[in-house]
Amino acid sequence: MAYLPRTRLSTTSFISLFITTLLTSTLSLPEELFSLEIGTKIRFDKQSLMSVASDFGNLTKSTPAAVFYPSSSHDIAGLIHFSYTHSTPFFISPRGHGHSINGQASCSDGVVIHMESLGQGRADRINVSVANRYMDVGGEQLWIDVLSAAHAHGLGAHSWTDYLHLTVGGTLSVGGISGQTFQHGPQISNVLELDVITGTGQQVTCSKTHNQGLFNAVLGGLGQFGIITRARIPLSPTPEKVKWIRLIYTNIVAFTRDQESLISVDENERLFGFLKYLEGSLLMEQGLIGSWRSSSFFPKNDMQRIAQLTAKHRLTALYYLEVVVAYDEDIAAEVDQELELLLDDLSFEPGFEFTREVTYMEFLDRVHDGELKLHKTGQWQVPHPWLNLFVPKSRILDFDAGVLKGILGSDKANGPILIYPMNKKKWNSKMSAIIPDEEVFYTIGILRSATNDNLEKMLEQNKKILEFCTMEGIPFKQYMPHYTTKEAWMEHFGQKWDKFLDLKMKYDPKGILSPAQKIYTFLLEEDYII
């Protein structure tokens, strides 16, 4: 497909090319759909509709026309093909575990695919090949179930997310990051093969060597090019136990310097296999006592010591670095020696090193424990105005001063704030995910929970953070991006924008898939024609 810039469509031409797609949001689903077998798997009842009307963010509510409960990938292909070939195509959006923030998986007046129904009652959706060191998993499967299946064979994926109760297809559509990304790259860099259903209803198997264009487009592609129904994930041996260490810092310079030093460890150096995880966070004075992230790790007397350290330095927040190293009883002495050498090179506050020994499984699923605690207090169901950014290493001190110490000030104790570095070389530039153009960049996760009293304030602060970065010339990128204008999306994709348009027209030419991302809307404006 070729795009002709600055060529205006006449009203008649615009309607003849695209109006059927745009108008489906106001039309009921075609009657002939219900004469097909897949039509029997569509539900309109209030309970089904309301179950997908909102997401983890709880910031928007959007009711679809129907919810589709597929039994197989063929069902999904059939639904998409029907829409694509019909005179009035309708929008379709896959929904995994509903952990998006701004309604990205919603589908107002269209059809939401309940992806998790694919795996109900089916044991064949997770298959481990011990001999070949990989596993095939359905796109609807949760990473916690992937972990359990692989761990039964002493194996695990190379790269996990911090929260494992997310679907495979969901995280692969955005990137999939955690404190392991510095070493192994994001989850999208650790995929061998995919089964994808495109926006035309075609089922395609793709990899780095076969149908490479679709493979790279879908990974980090925000659901715009196809629905992932299977992923082949490489595996490697995992430790039974780890040492989980938190180190307290009082200033950003030492905190970032140490992180950058640790992630620069070359693959041939001894620390590469030793370190399993590295992630930095803010530790807020007003959120120290009672926070599930603190109370689940620090003994009460240690939390009091940390609070005294904050008061001593007259700070509203401290920084802490989490480091995890492989540990086994047979090599305990060796591990302790290596760890001592590692810590000697770091500049954390003396006497503020805290260590726990846990199983590797326990560490990887640590956030779920916090989720259960928040469920009990009703705090899991509140609005979550999260903001996730990638900020270049060269501007992280400016971001700390202007945002963490400036805009947010003392209003930081409503949830975790993550700040940790990644290596650009661990990301595949051919894939759709967008990152800053600097060799080292930081992930900033402002993961706050709101109430009706402070939600608007938090949303306004998020807006101010983005405005600050723009005004100060900080070339940030949003992770799990949310934009409402064509210009913002063009700025986000940068030099990849034209390629994105070509891929969209190739794999989803009628813009059927994932409309709530609000990207395709801007492909229909007068500046571009096909």
Cα angle: 167, vertex 115, 519; to 5 degrees: 80
Catalytic residue among 55, 145, 279, 349: 279
Identify the CA nearest to 446 among candidates 484, 486, 419. Answer: 419
The three-state secondary structure class of 290 is coil
Q: Mapping DSSP to helix (H, G, I), strand (E, B) and coil, where does residue 129 land?
A: strand
Report in angstroms the alpha-carbon separations of 5 from 32, 485, 523, 528, 529. Answer: 39, 18, 11, 5, 8
Q: Rounded to whole angstroms, how far apart are CA atoms 290 and 164?
A: 24
Nearest to 504 by CA among 213, 230, 231: 213
Distance CA 346, CA 338 (A): 13
Concerning whether 365 is annotated as a catalytic residue, the answer is: no
Look up residue 250 and give its two tokens. 């009082």
| Sheet-wide strand order for 417-423 | 353-359, 241-249, 317-327, 275-284, 417-423, 440-446, 387-392, 477-478
Told to judge if 369 belongs to the known catalytic residues of this protein, a careful annotator would answer: no
**Would you put residue 103 in left (φ > 0), alpha (ψ -120 to 50) or beta?**
left
Residue among 99, 384, 482, 492 flagged as catalytic: 99
The CA distances from residue 178 to 367, 421, 507, in Å, are 12, 10, 30
Q: Determine contact, residues 314/305, Cβ cutoff 8 Å.
A: no
CB 101 within 8 A of CB 479: no
Please count the residues of the chain.
530
Contact 411, 460 (CB under 8 A): no
Q: What residue ranges in 103-159 does DSSP mark as E strands?
A: 111-114, 126-129, 134-138, 155-157
Report the distance separating Cα 299 and Cα 354, nearest Å. 10
Task: Tell me the two tokens of residue 333.
Answer: 């002495």
Among 318, 280, 315, 314, smallest CA distance to 302 is for 318
Catalytic, out of 55, 109, 140, 162: 162
Is the distance from CB of 383 to CB of 54 less than 8 angstroms?
Answer: no
Q: How far apart are CA 480 and CA 102, in angstroms?
A: 9
Amino acid at 305: R
Active site residue 97: no
Q: Fill in the amino acid letter for 349.
A: E
Return the DSSP state at 28.
P
Tokens of 288: 């120290």
Contacts of 191 by beta carbon, 8 Å cutoff, 6+ apart: 172, 219, 231, 232, 233, 234
Instruction: Write the DSSP assignment of 346-410 as a string of letters.
Output: --PPTT-EEEEEEEHHHHHTHHHHHHHHHHHHT-SSS----EEEEEEGGGHHHHIIIIIIIISTT
Question: Which residue, chain included where needed, has tokens 């659901």?
Answer: 223
User: What are the residue numbers of the active site?
Assistant: 99, 162, 279
